[in-house]
Amino acid sequence: MQDSIILTYRVETPGDPEKVAAKIASDQSTGTFVALPGETPELKARVAARVLAIRPLEPATEPGWGRSHAGLETGTRFNRADVDIAFPVEAVGTDLSALMTIAIGGVYSIRELSGVRVTAIRLPESFAGAYPGPQFGIEGSRRLTGVHGRPLIGTIVKPALGLRPPEMAAMVRELLEAGVDFIKDDEKLMSPAYSSLEDRVKAIMPVILDHEQKTGKKVMYAFGISAADPDTMLRNHDIVAEAGGNAAVINIASIGLGSLTFLRKRSRLVLHAHRNGWDILTRNAAVGMEFAAWEIFWRLSGIDQFQINGIRVKYWEPDESFVRSFHALQKPIFSPSDRPLPVVGSGQWGGQAPDTYAATGGSTDLLYLCGGGVVSHPDGPASGVRAVRQAWDAAVAGVDLATFAKDHRELARSIEFFANGKGA
Describe the crossing of helices 96-104 and 252-266 by its angle, rounded to 10 degrees.
Answer: 160
Describe the crossing of helices 230-242 and 197-215 by its angle, rounded to 10 degrees.
Answer: 30
What pLDDT does residue 423 have?
46
At residue 182, what are phi and psi to the nearest 5 degrees?
-150, 140
223 DSSP 8-state letter: E
Whether the per-residue pLDDT at 160 is higher than 50: the answer is yes
Whether the per-residue pLDDT at 198 is higher than 90: the answer is yes
Whether the per-residue pLDDT at 39 is higher than 90: the answer is no
Asked if 214 contacts 221 with a C-beta cutoff of 8 angstroms, the reply is no
Asked if 322 contacts 342 with a C-beta cutoff of 8 angstroms, the reply is no
Domain 4-127 has CATH 3.30.70.150: yes
Query: Confidence band (pLDDT; 50, 70, 90) for 2?
Result: low
**Mean pLDDT within 17-39:** 78
What pLDDT does residue 63 have?
81
What pLDDT does residue 68 have?
58
Whether the per-residue pLDDT at 338 is higher than 60: the answer is yes
What pLDDT does residue 191 have?
84
**Mean pLDDT within 41-62:** 85
Describe the crossing of helices 409-418 and 381-397 by its angle, rounded to 10 degrees.
Answer: 100
Residue boundaries of the structural domains of the chain: 4-127, 137-418
pLDDT (tens digit, 9 = 90+) per residue, 254-296?
999 999 999 999 999 999 999 998 899 899 989 999 999 999 9
**Mean pLDDT within 150-173:** 89
Give CA separation, 86 vs 90, 103, 144, 209, 289, in Å. Answer: 12, 11, 40, 51, 17
Query: Confidence band (pLDDT; 50, 70, 90) for 162?
Result: confident
| Closest listed residue to residue 30, CA positions, set 84, 89, 91, 85 | 91
What pLDDT does residue 40 have?
66
Higher model confidence: residue 39 or residue 364? 364
Half-sphere exposure of 34 (CA within 13 A, CB side): 1
Percent of the chain with pLDDT over 70: 92
Asked if 194 contacts 409 with a C-beta cutoff of 8 angstroms, the reply is no
The terminus-to-terminus CA distance of the chain in angstroms comes to: 48
Q: What rounded mean pLDDT belongs to the chain?
A: 91
Which segment of 11-20, 113-122, 186-195, 376-385 scores lowest on mean pLDDT?
Answer: 186-195
Distance (Å, whole) CA 143 – CA 140: 5
Which segment of 127-136, 154-163, 372-381 scores lowest on mean pLDDT?
Answer: 154-163
Whether the per-residue pLDDT at 222 is higher than 50: the answer is yes
Higher model confidence: residue 315 or residue 368? 368
pLDDT (tens digit, 9 = 90+) per residue, 54-104?
999 999 888 887 555 656 666 788 999 999 999 999 888 999 999 999 998
Give CA separation, 28 vs 87, 181, 212, 340, 374, in Å. Answer: 9, 46, 53, 30, 48
pTM of the model: 0.93
Pairing state between β 305-307 and 247-251: unpaired
Which H helix or E strand runs over 11?
strand 4-13
Which CATH number among 3.40.50.720, 3.40.50.80, 3.50.50.60, 3.20.20.110 corresponds to the domain 137-418?
A: 3.20.20.110
Asked if 54 contacts 83 with a C-beta cutoff of 8 angstroms, the reply is yes
